A = this chain, B = another copy of it.
């Protein structure tokens, strides 16, 4: 017997949302386990800075580079000034 279009749609919804939830729940579990394992076996491996939204999707690496450069220049000038003021 042919399924109606509506039956197909409902099945797709149930199967789809089910899969999405199960998959992401499994991912939560595995991620949590993985993080714990990492923190136990390689605890010293922390980056100096926490996640920043500057590097999130859309931010360009070049912009980040330029920022870092400006920071470096500013730092150089500061250091220089500090040395001079001694």
Asked if A30 is at the interface of the complex by the 8 Å CB criterion, the answer is: no
**Once the chains are docked, how many angstroms separate the CA of A34 from the CA of B38?**
60
The tally of residues in A whose CB lies under 8 Å from a CB in B reads 11
Q: Within 8 Å CB of A84, what residues of B?
A: 81, 84
Q: How many copies does the complex hold?
A: 3
Q: Within 8 Å CB of A27, what residues of B?
A: none
Q: Within 8 Å CB of A17, what residues of B?
A: none
In the complex, residue of chain B having the shortest beta-carbon distance to the beta carbon of A80: B77
In the complex, residue of chain B having the shortest beta-carbon distance to the beta carbon of A83: B81
**Once the chains are docked, how many angstroms separate the CA of A73 from the CA of B72?**
10
Chain B nearest Cβ from A24, distance in angstroms: 38
List of 6 A-B pairs having minimum Cβ-Cβ separation, nearest first = A77-B80, A76-B77, A73-B73, A73-B76, A80-B81, A69-B69
